[in-house]
Each structure stands twice: as structure tokens, then as C-alpha cells.
Amino acid sequence: MKTVKQLLDTKGSLVLSVSPTATVFEALGIMAEKQVGALLVMHGNHLVGIFSERDYARGIALKGKTSRDTSVADIMTPEARLITVTPERTVDDCINLMSDKRIRHLPVLDNGKVVGVLSIGDLVKAIIEHQQFLIQQLESYIRT
């Protein structure tokens, strides 16, 4: 099974982020433009949280706040509650972690520095590719 590093080498390590002082409306605009479900919240080079569609639904819509008047910092998942992984972890480790913790996005840190983000979709795709490879190998073995 692939490691996170191998997956990021294939997928790319583009990290979309927003400042904690940005408004939720600004963050939603970036998410819509880039067609992503979450943004890392960065203060300079330091990861301070993650802002997701789920944070919006629970922090704005359900609490009667407005996205134009609320900062990302007010409703993001803060650093203290973030689940992160290192590049050495395997895809299996990550999918199990995301399933257990009921999260959809996983920041990747190497010595405290953000090097990428994995979504549940990235991991499912990698698992399907691995299973297709194994099936091809088994079919080839059976034919010979």
C-alpha cells in the first residue's frame, strides 16, 4: 500500500489556505472557486486550524450567524483538535483514521511544516487503484 508521501507525489502537494482573520464568506468563495470542501487555516507558515463545509453548517447556519460578519477563526476546527499525519503513514492508516474520527480532510505535516492535504476522495481513489492492480496481478497469475 502507498505511503502518504507517494500519494502526494502523484496527487501534488498544493495546499489551499486562508487566514484566520478572513471572513467565512471569503473562505466559502475560495472553496467554491477551487471546488474543495475545506481550507487549511494558516497564520503565516503555522497551521492553526481547518475550515470545512461542516464547520460552516454547524457554526454559521445552525447558530444564526452571518458568513460576512464572522471570521474563520470563530468557527474553524482549531489546532488543538486537528488530526494530522506524517508522510510516512500509509493510505490504509489514513483511511482508518478518517473513518474512526469521522473527518474528511487530513493535513500532512513533515517536521511541523504543512506539505499537503488529503481528502477522503484521494484515499478512496488510491485504494481502488491498488485493488485494481491486485486484480490484474491475480488475473495474470491465473492465466499463466
Rg (CA), the chain: 18
Cα–chain-centroid distance for residue 91?
Answer: 13
At 34-49, the pLDDT tens digits run: 999 999 999 999 999 9
Average of per-residue pLDDT values in the chain = 94
At 61-94, the pLDDT tens digits run: 788 899 999 999 999 999 999 999 999 999 999 9
The CATH number linked to 96 is 3.10.580.10
Q: How many domains does the chain have?
A: 1
Query: What residues make up the domain containing 95?
Result: 4-143
